[in-house]
Chains A and B, each alone.
Chain A
Amino acid sequence: MALEIIELCTNCWACQPLCPSKAIYEAKPHFMIDPDKCNECSGDFEDSQCSSICPIEGAILNADGEPMNPPGSLTNIPLQKLAA
């Protein structure tokens, strides 16, 4: 059970210091989560920390490969405007 950062990441550093498992590390072209260390913050926090501060919709996926923050969920930008 681990989260994953994908190429939408803008390398803003917001998540890295928050991870209670020190699973997030700086990498090229973007930050990565060590799947062996990530436990989705269970036991530490109610919500996974990286996906709670990440400003980029779709940049962090859950264990099923679905976005933790789907399009429009953070910015409230209507989907048809996002697509345009």
Chain B
Amino acid sequence: MQLPVINNTASEAPKGGCSAGSCGSTDDQMNHLPEHIRQKVFNHPCYSEEAHHYFARMHVAVAPACNIQCNYCNRKYDCANESRPGVVSELHHPVQAVKKVLAVAATIPQMTVLGIAGPGDPLANPERTFETFRMLSEQAPDIKLCVSTNGLSLPEQVEELSKYNIDHVTITINCVDPDVGAQIYPWIFWKNKRIKGREAAEILIAQQQKGLEMLVAKGILVKVNSVMIPGVNDKHLEEVSKIVKAKGAFLHNVMPLISEAEHGTFYGLTGQRGPTNEELQALQDACEGDMNMMRHCRQCRADAVGLLGEDRGSEFTMDKVEQMEINYPEAMKMRAEVHAAINEELESKRLAKESKVQLVSIQGVQKKEVTRPVLMAVATKGGGVINEHFGHAGEFLIYEASSDGVRFIGHRKTTPYCEGDISCGDGESVLDKTLKVLAGCEAVLCSKVGYEPWGPLEAAGIQPNGEHAMEPIEDAVLKVYEEMRVAGKLEAKQDEQQKVA
């Protein structure tokens, strides 16, 4: 039996770039975008779930200053071991940053997007940020530029932003209620004064909303990021989602709070916890009815380089970049070829999917039987296919298969089961961690699964599966789901087990 891919059964045939049924961002929402917007997002890994399997991004850390304080942030940013927003290893002057971008773009041709995201607020560093954008728009016109901001000084910068062809802006909006905001932001710097408490939150919220409206009016694509803080704004974020959608935001990205005590943040030190995977997914699902949700965010560092799941920043430290001879006009030709090849691949996948959907709509409808949804974990290193060993996976993508089709749920990080000698010695506990991370999943699809983890995975109710190596993720998930159906494993009886997990 062929199962339809969610939302693709709509009468309108999918067209345009992003269509692999897995968009963060479900298919339907992407397919109903006007063509000019689809053109802006189809190769942007942060805006299109499909694109993030193929295209890479980088951030340059040119903007260290910030004009607000958030309770989930602290201002030391020189740790190479932490991977989270606001953390960088090297701060760059704009000229260095541009050098680094050209080096990365020439080495990793899949890199389509350059973002400035901190470690402070890019718009609190307007000279450094705009100097970088200006040089890049001249020297590397084939790179998309985007920026991420807390929004406080956004309204006064919208005009300047639109000059550099920046068509993607992310605003972090954690609340629209100043009483909630007062629990997230201890202070802002505003009109030459430090302002604290509720008043600070009130000003910040007003500026964020105004900035959002101004960007939308200019036709600039806006993504809204929100940090989910249980007990503080978790209930409130559904309202935030509705409001930002009504104002024209394109995508909403609800991210889990990161609050380890060793990060030294207010939340870390006062024991504020982050949400569980299940809580995060429930909130994303609740917002989804109103809004296009992003689920593939990796909360990357302010100097991250590479595909979203990876960070190749250490290959491009400034001393290494200084040694590289880059002929960018030559590199641009090679990049164009690589991009064309990827686009061709995406297009052929889209056509294949389209014909499959038509087939399903002819023969699939009458015998649609409702089966329970199943979560499956997938190990991939990109390309939209199952191509990573279980033991090498530093993260798993989570898909939900149901009688409605397959949808992407999110990703879960872990420590690779077999990463060199060090962690292999401690293999037991590393595997335990992965088993915990995969809680709720009933299968894990990898290019290969070793003998050792096989038993414990099965015992935990997670069926290891190495039979679909190099197959497109969604096709493989559907096949496994279909096998489960045929084997009678999709009856309601396993419901309980799912809930416990």
- Chain A residues close to B by CB (< 8 Å): 10-14, 17-18, 45-47, 49, 52-53, 55-56, 74-78, 81-82, 84
Contact among B125, B189, B269 with A77 in the assembled complex (CB-CB below 8 Å): B269
**Other-chain residue from A11, A12, A47 in contact with B192 (beta carbon distance below 8 A):** A47
Known A47-B192, A77-B270, A78-B270: A12·B66 in contact at CB below 8 Å: yes
**Bound CA–CA A74/B66 (angstroms):** 13
Q: Does B186 contact A (CB under 8 A)?
A: yes
CA distance A13 to B74 in the complex (A): 15
The reply to whether A52 and B194 form a contact with Cβ atoms under 8 Å apart is yes
B69 contacts A14, C-beta separation under 8 Å: no
Q: A75-B186, A77-B269 are in contact. Are A52 and B192 (CB under 8 A)?
A: yes
Q: Is A76 a contact partner of B192 (Cβ separation < 8 A)?
A: no
- Give the chain B neighbours of A52 by CB distance below 8 A: 189, 192-194
Interface residues of B, Cβ cutoff 8 Å to A: 64-67, 69, 71, 74-77, 91, 120, 124-125, 127-128, 186-187, 189, 192-194, 266, 269-270
Contacts A12-B64, A55-B75; A74 near B69 (Cβ below 8 A):
yes
**Complex: A82 Cα to B265 Cα, angstroms:** 10
Q: Is the CB of B269 within 8 A of A82?
A: yes
* 8 Å CB contact of B120 from A14, A46, A74, A76: A14
Contacts of A18 in B (CB 8 A): 192
Chain A to chain B contacts (Cβ below 8 Å), 18 pairs: A11-B91, A12-B64, A12-B120, A13-B120, A13-B125, A14-B64, A14-B189, A45-B192, A74-B186, A74-B187, A75-B69, A75-B71, A75-B186, A75-B266, A76-B71, A76-B186, A78-B270, A84-B269
Whether A14 contacts B67 by the Cβ 8 Å rule is yes
Give the residues in chain B near A55, CB-CB below 8 Å: 66, 69, 75
A53-B189 CB under 8 A given contacts A81-B269, A81-B270:
yes
Contacts of B67 in A (CB 8 A): 14, 53
Q: Could you list 6 further interchain pairs (A-B, Cβ under 8 angstroms) beyond the known A52-B194, A77-B266, A77-B270?
A: A10-B75, A12-B65, A12-B75, A14-B189, A53-B189, A78-B270
Please tell me if the beta carbons of A49 and B192 are within 8 angstroms of each other in the complex.
yes
Nearest CB of A to B223, in Å: 25
A47: which B residues are within 8 A, CB to CB?
Answer: 192-194
In the bound complex, residues from chain B placing their C-beta under 8 Å from that of A84 are 269
Of the candidates A11, A46, A55, A82, the one having the most CB atoms from chain B within 10 angstroms of its own CB is A55
B9 to chain A, nearest CB (A): 51
- Whether A10 lies near B269 (C-beta < 8 A) is no
Most chain B Cβ neighbours within 10 Å, of A56, A81, A84:
A81
Smallest Cβ-Cβ distance to B121: which chain A residue: A14
Alpha-carbon distance A13/B270, docked complex (angstroms): 28
B124: A residues at CB distance < 8 A? 14
Query: Is the Cβ of A17 less than 8 Å from the Cβ of B75?
Result: no
CB distance from A40 to the nearest CB of B (A): 14
Contact B66 A17 (CB under 8 A): no
Q: Are A53 and B194 in contact (CB under 8 A)?
A: yes
What separation, in Å, do the CA atoms of A55 and B194 have in the docked complex? 10
- Quick one: which of A11, A75, A81 contacts B64, CB cutoff 8 A? A11
A59 to chain B: closest residue by CB: B75
Q: Which of A12, A46, A76 has the most CB of B within 10 A?
A: A12
A46–B194 Cα distance when bound, in Å, is 11
CA of A60 to CA of B66, assembled, Å: 16
Cα of A10 to Cα of B193 in the assembled complex, Å: 21
Q: What is the CB-to-nearest-CB distance from B202 to chain A, in angstroms, rounded to a whole number?
A: 18
Q: How far is the CA of A78 from the CA of B189 in the complex (A)?
A: 22
When C-beta atoms are compared, the residue in chain A nearest to B120 turns out to be A12
Residue of B64, B65, B69, B124 contacting most chain A CB atoms (<10 Å): B65
Determine the residue in chain A with the shortest Cβ distance to B124.
Answer: A14
Docked CA distance A29–B74 (Å): 20
List, in ascending order, chain A residues with CB within 8 A of B65's CB. 12-14, 53
Contacts of B125 in A (CB 8 A): 13
Report the 5 A-B pairs with minimum CB-CB distance, sorted nearest first: A14-B65, A12-B64, A81-B269, A52-B194, A53-B189
Residues from chain A with a CB closer than 8 A to the CB of B186 are 74-76
Nearest Cβ distance between residue B156 and chain A, in whole angstroms?
15
CB distance from B229 to the nearest CB of A (A): 15
Q: In the assembly, what is the distance between CA of A27 and CA of B5, in Å?
A: 58
**Given A13-B64, A55-B69, A82-B269: A46 and B75 interface contact (C-beta under 8 Å):** no
* Closest Cβ neighbor of B68 among chain A residues: A55
The residue in chain A whose Cβ has the minimal distance to the Cβ of B269 is A81
Give every chain B residue within 8 A of A82 (Cβ-Cβ): 269
A74 vs B20: C-alpha distance in the bound complex, in angstroms? 47
Min Cβ gap A72→B in Å is 10
Is B77 touching A10 in the complex (CB atoms < 8 A)?
yes
CB proximity of A75 to chain B, nearest CB, Å: 5
On chain A, the residues within 8 Å of B76 by CB distance are 10
CA distance A73 to B267 in the complex (A): 15
Contact of B266 among A10, A49, A56, A76 (CB under 8 A): A76
Known: A10-B77, A11-B91, A55-B69. A46 touches B193 (CB 8 A): yes
